[in-house]
A and B are shown apart, each in its own frame.
Chain A
């Protein structure tokens, strides 16, 4: 087993305490389930001196019905609890389905919804041990990389293309969900669609002193949302491609594709394609728009072909569910 680096732990009981600690300890990282954070720390991807443990903040563990008739899910609710909640199952089945595809059932019991949304972007050239990254010469996302390190996905590029891998994000985006971010300066809401940025190093639009406290879902849309995860095996694996499709008989389809770059992307031109040629045309439009890169061990050209297949299958399922 790889040893963890040394760190200290702070255990707030209230959201306000946690926010204060985050302000007081700018180098600290938040830890909820820790199922991705701790392996990353063992790999030396980052070595925070302090972890702020959110497990003791009971306010983050609740699911409640909002006045608007949607749901507010605390960031600290475990993926297992989200996936088994009858309200989530009946109103937001694509979210429940997404939680059940994450890693393994034991990790779902530890990992949280907030943790999943805050999951670091991933890359085959980055999520490796200190020794491995040293032998590679580092990359743009590596904080400890030597001068002259390049991106191994796009060697001439200046950006980082590490792949957004949060399984719950595409579905939440189609449910028009928002997240609540809290700091000592106050609370604000950001749409999931606007939460993520275009560079794998700086993939989340969150101020360093903010913590994600809840996911707020508006009342569910008229049609059905479907979540699909392409992965190498039936368990444990991170996504090779995430697809979410929604179909509202009045408004037509919407499609989100993820794990192909630093953020989930809602495809453009879907309505036009739908009008012109139905499901096949939407799948073709997706294929043309989305170009996976070599951020995964499995080959990018095959993943590109899968965009067409997965979008078609997701959309067909969304339509047949109407």
Chain B
């Protein structure tokens, strides 16, 4: 499908890349409006407390202060998931974590707003905190959300249990069964740009809100709901965004308070979070304790699995209900597994709320399962790659839990990554303290079901061809740096045979652009890409028909900015001429396309989380060096092969794979949301929260594998999240190859690795003593 000079499949920078590297791009904080005020929060210093009184008089008396809001001003609860409406813009009645927003101030500048916020006097009655999974499961502990109170209630937001096939029978078939506990830490996204919102009230009572969001559509709905406004009176615009990774997929207090303060003061209000506040806004990876039991036959067939997970999710639900399902539903993928069950618990604790982070809900079970596979391979004396390939899911099949699998190029990914890394030659032979490890994974290309149930399209794109030959593309998609603007332009331009730079993309303005549900669940390329393709197909048909009439033949092609008959390429129309011809015949050339995922029949009616129109596949190999005296792990190289269906732009796909690997390395080596026993974040700064620097970042060798999905736009699937799933377990398996210790607990900090090595040596000494 991809022609040589088509933008589809062509390497190169993003259409909106230059403004970002030259500084011309405008992020929300770059926007300034006349008379603009600035917001600041008063936050809770208690992890769990009842609010007895709030005195805002000193704050209001400070010169330069325009308004103060408390929970009483915004009493409507909300939450991104309809079944978990447990948040308020400002605390109502209780505070649930250190950093919870209690009051918001609008003042003439940020310093005044901060000073005023500090003058607000709040009287608290401290309550016992819930800080561990044990606390959360204990019915004698206080409930964070009082409204949940029924006899025997605990702080479990959602428990999910699913069983497929006959696990007992599966375990009976196994020759080897291994059971282990695993711990995966909480981690946060650390986007370069913190959350920023700017709200402008209009004289007619309407409101415009600019925000650094991944979900303009859901933000639009929730701002309207919380402010009690008609949705058609609220316009949400997402300017350029400095990354999100899932951390901007919820509505945030700064957005709601900017809007409410703007309405109250009649002035524009900007509300920016500082870096520490982003650690409190959080919505990152759930710290998860897991147990996994799996059985294999001696010839390497996985016969059964039993998985349990408990997540300490923080003070609010966010996407936590969905997380509880993701923990289990993706567990077997990318392998065939007939007999298995899982049980997951997503708990409330008095910490900043967890939510979706790149690879949402799938990272933790993947870590456990991929380590487990290496343990099983070891136990039956099979090579880890052979065990994986033997159980690999096949194209055009259905998993035991009813997921429809279409294109799969995992075997090719494994073959390529083994060949490139020399895994087979290196494993076990790199000498002491140097090792190599493999892991594979799969991820969805968009959640099949929308967050708010509806039969309407989940993505829409509107295109319009101008007589100049320029094509405008309007879409509600949210480009947060991942390249969705370029993706839309490449698809439309690819269909019409013009350079993508002749397209103009206007996105994420709920006042102008047709709806898209947002940048989450790796859905945008598949969903919005198909919508763009549908719109472009219509324009293509109309232009082609007009050109065929003019050129006197049906064999018309559109390529390289020209429109011509294949049999007579010398008589070519310019694209702009062809547009004009078509406009004469058809009228103004505007078309809309949309995407509704196919109705995929699922044998399991309860399975609304997990189904996706397609899945991406990844194989990775990591090579590491371990310092046995300090415990420091150096990841030297990672080879990452990813089946993205079709690389619409290989440069951008490689960038996404590299970003995933980088983030995985951070989670593997050091990143951890760590709290004191009183629930205070121990390191809410990017000095002490240890994301990798360039020195910790390995050489990354990316390998793109194309399976050309039948339903993907030009065959494309996702590349923005899936590649992260393999990174952490590949590193863990490499550490085992290096020094013979299983790192069942991440991150693999020097402290943990050294303890594991010391334990290994103690056991070896004991064994040799016993043997003697």
CA A135 to CA B126, docked complex, whole Å: 12
Q: What is the bound-complex CA distance between A235 and B683, given in angstroms? A: 17
Contacts of A234 in B (CB 8 A): 693-696
Please give me the residue from chain B that is nearest to A236 by CB atom. B693
Q: Mark B736-751, 1 if CB is under 8 A from A, else 0.
A: 0000000000000111
Spot the interface stretch: B132-140, B548-556, B602-610, B684-692: B684-692
Q: Which of A132, A230, A298 contacts B680 (CB 8 A)?
A: A132
> Which chain A positions have C-beta within 8 A of B685?
128
Take A132-B276, A235-B694 as given contacts and tell me if A302 and B683 are in contact as well, using a CB distance cutoff of 8 Å: no
Q: Which residue of A lies closest to B672 (CB)?
A: A297
Q: Mark B691-717, 1 if CB is under 8 A from A, else 0.
A: 011111000000000000000000000
Q: Contacts A124-B688, A232-B670: A298 and B693 contacting too (C-beta < 8 A)?
A: no
B12 to chain A, nearest CB (A): 31
Q: A131-B276, A132-B276 are in contact. Are A233 and B690 (CB under 8 A)?
A: yes
Let me know if B391 is at the binding interface, CB within 8 A: no
Cβ A302 vs Cβ B694 within 8 A: no
Known: A135-B45, A302-B751, A306-B630. A233 touches B693 (CB 8 A): yes
Does residue B455 face the partner (Cβ distance < 8 Å to A)? Answer: no
Contacts of A3 in B (CB 8 A): 110-111, 114
B680 with A124: CB separation less than 8 A: no
Report A-chain residues with C-beta under 8 Å of the C-beta of B682. Answer: 124, 297
Determine the chain B residues whose CB is within 8 A of the CB of A230 once the complex forms: 630
A207 CB-CB contact with B under 8 Å: no
Interface residues as binary, A1-25 with B (CB distance below 8 Å gives 1, 0 otherwise): 1110000000000000000000000
Could you tell me if B692 and A233 are in contact, using CB atoms closer than 8 angstroms? Answer: yes
CB proximity to A under 8 Å, residues B734-768: 749-751, 754
B631's closest neighbor in chain A, by CB? A302
The residue in chain A whose Cβ has the minimal distance to the Cβ of B750 is A302
B147 on interface, CB distance cutoff 8 Å: no
Is the Cβ of B696 less than 8 Å from the Cβ of A2?
Answer: no
Chain B hits for A131, CB < 8 A: 43, 45, 99, 276
Q: Are B687 and A236 in contact (CB under 8 A)?
A: yes
- Counting CB contacts under 8 A, is A321 at the interface? no
Contact B631 A135 (CB under 8 A): no
Q: List 10 A-B contacts (CB under 8 A).
A: A131-B43, A132-B276, A134-B45, A135-B45, A135-B680, A233-B690, A235-B694, A235-B695, A298-B750, A302-B631
* Shortest distance from the beta carbon of A83 to any chain B beta carbon, whole Å: 18
Q: Which B residues are CB-close (under 8 A) to A130?
A: 118
Chain B nearest CB from A189 CB (Å) reads 34
When C-beta atoms are compared, the residue in chain A nearest to B689 turns out to be A297
Quick one: CB contact mask for B601-631 with A, threshold 8 Å, 1 for yes? 0000000000000000000000000000111
Return the CB mask of A99-141 against B: 1 if under 8 Å, else 0.
0000000000000000000000000100011111011100000
In the complex, whether B406 has a CB less than 8 A from a CB of chain A is: no
Is A157 located at the chain interface by the 8 A CB criterion? no
Q: Is B243 an interface residue (CB 8 A)?
A: no
Chain A residues within an 8 Å CB radius of B513: none
Q: Would you give the shortest CB distance from A304 to chain B, in whole angstroms?
A: 11
Give CA–CA (A301, B754) in the complex, Å: 11
Note all chain A residues with C-beta closer than 8 A to B276.
Answer: 129, 131-132
| B98 lies within 8 A of chain A by Cβ | yes
**B693 engages A302 (CB within 8 Å):** no
Contacting pair A2 B694 (CB below 8 A): no
Contact of B749 among A134, A235, A237, A298 (CB under 8 A): A298
A188 at the interface (CB under 8 A from B): no
The answer, yes or no, to whether B274 is at the interface (CB within 8 Å) is: yes
Is A288 close to B, CB under 8 A? no
Does B501 belong to the interface (CB within 8 Å)?
A: no
- CA separation between A236 and B694, bound complex, in Å? 11
Q: Beyond A234-B693, A297-B688, A299-B751, is A309–B629 a contact (Cβ under 8 Å)? A: yes
Question: A305 near B: Cβ within 8 Å?
Answer: yes
In the assembled complex, the CB of A311 is this many whole angstroms from the nearest CB of chain B, namely 12
**Minimum Cβ distance to chain A for residue B733 (Å):** 23
Q: A306-B630, A309-B629 are in contact. Are A298 and B751 (CB under 8 A)?
A: yes
Interface string of A220-258 (1 = CB under 8 A from B): 000000000010111111100000000000000000000
Asked if B297 is at the interface (CB within 8 A of a chain A CB), the reply is no
With the chains together, A128 CA to B687 CA distance in Å?
11
Cβ distance A91 to chain B, nearest Cβ, rounded Å: 29
Query: Taking CB as reference atom, which chain A residue is nearest B45?
Result: A135
Known: A131-B276, A135-B98, A297-B683. A302 touches B754 (CB 8 A): yes
Q: Which of A2, A233, A306 contacts B695 (CB 8 A)?
A: A233
A237 to B689, CA, bound (A): 11
Where chain A touches its partner, the secondary structure class is loop
Question: Does B674 interact with chain A (Cβ within 8 Å)?
Answer: yes
CA distance A298 to B680 in the complex (A): 16
Could you tell me the dominant secondary structure of chain B's interface residues? loop
* Interchain residue pairs A-B with the least CB separation, the first 7: A234-B695, A135-B45, A302-B751, A235-B693, A3-B111, A309-B629, A233-B693
- Chain A residues within an 8 Å CB radius of B680: 132, 135-136
Within 8 A of B (CB), among A268-322: 297-299, 301-302, 305-306, 309
Distance between Cα atoms of A171 and B117 in the complex (Å): 46
Give the docked Cα–Cα distance between A299 and B99 (Å).
25
Name the A residues within 8 Å of B751 (CB-CB): 298-299, 301-302
| Other 16 A-B pairs with CB < 8 A, given A124-B682, A124-B683, A132-B276 | A3-B111, A124-B688, A128-B684, A129-B276, A131-B43, A131-B45, A131-B276, A135-B46, A233-B693, A234-B696, A297-B674, A297-B683, A297-B688, A298-B751, A299-B751, A302-B750
Distance to closest chain B CB from A267 (angstroms)? 19
Closest A residue to B98 by beta carbon equals A135
Q: Once the chains are docked, how many angstroms separate the CA of A299 from the CA of B670?
A: 13
Please, which residues of chain B bring their CB within 8 A of the CB of A237? 687, 690
* Bound form: Cα–Cα A302–B99 in Å: 30
How far is it, in angstroms, between the C-alpha of A205 and the C-alpha of B693 when the chains are bound?
A: 36
Cβ-closest chain A residue relative to B109? A3
Shortest beta-carbon distance from A188 to chain B in Å: 35
In Å, the complex CA distance between A134 and B43 comes to 11
Q: Do the beta carbons of B696 and A233 come within 8 Å of each other?
A: yes
Residues on A with C-beta less than 8 A from B683 are 124, 297
Asked if residues A305 and B695 are in contact (CB atoms below 8 Å), the reply is: no
Q: A232 — which chain B residues lie within 8 A by C-beta? A: 670, 690
The interface bits of chain B over 37-59 (1 if a CB of A lies within 8 angstroms of the residue's CB, else 0) are 00000010110000000000000
Chain A residue contacts of B688, Cβ below 8 A? 124, 297
Residue of A with least CB distance to B681 = A132
> In the assembly, what is the distance between CA of A3 and CA of B681, in Å?
22
A133 to chain B, nearest CB (A): 10
Give CA–CA (A241, B751) in the complex, Å.
Answer: 14
Q: Which residue of B lies closest to A240 (CB)?
A: B750
Across-interface contacts of B676 in A (CB, < 8 A)? 136
Distance in Å: Cβ of A232 to nearest Cβ of chain B: 5
Q: Which B residues from 627 to 684 make CB contacts under 8 A with A?
A: 629-631, 670, 674, 676, 680-684
Nearest CB of chain B from residue A247's CB, rounded to whole Å: 20
Instruction: Kindly state the separation between the CA atoms of A233 and B629 in the bound complex, as whole angstroms.
Output: 17
Chain A contacts for B674, CB-based, 8 A: 297
Report the Cα distance A297→B692, complex, angstroms: 16
| Contact partners of B754 in chain A: CB under 8 A | 302, 305
- By a CB distance below 8 angstroms, the chain A residues around B98 are 135
* Residues of A close to B631: CB separation below 8 A: 302
In Å, the complex CA distance between A302 and B690 comes to: 17
Measured CB to CB, the closest approach of chain B to A41, in angstroms, equals 13
Chain B residue at minimal CB-CB distance from A135: B45
Chain A's nearest CB lies how many Å from the CB of B670?
6
- Roughly how many angstroms separate A93 CA and B674 CA in the complex, as a whole number? 38
Across-interface contacts of B99 in A (CB, < 8 A): 131
Q: Which residues of B contact A235 (CB under 8 A)?
A: 693-695
Q: Chain B's nearest CB lies how many Å from the CB of A215?
A: 27
**B91-121 interface bits toward A, Cβ cutoff 8 Å, 1 = contact, 0 = none:** 0000000110000000000110010001000
A301 and B680 alpha carbons, distance in the complex (Å): 22
- Docked Cα-Cα span, A2 to B114, in Å, equals 10
Q: B310 to nearest A CB, angstroms?
A: 24
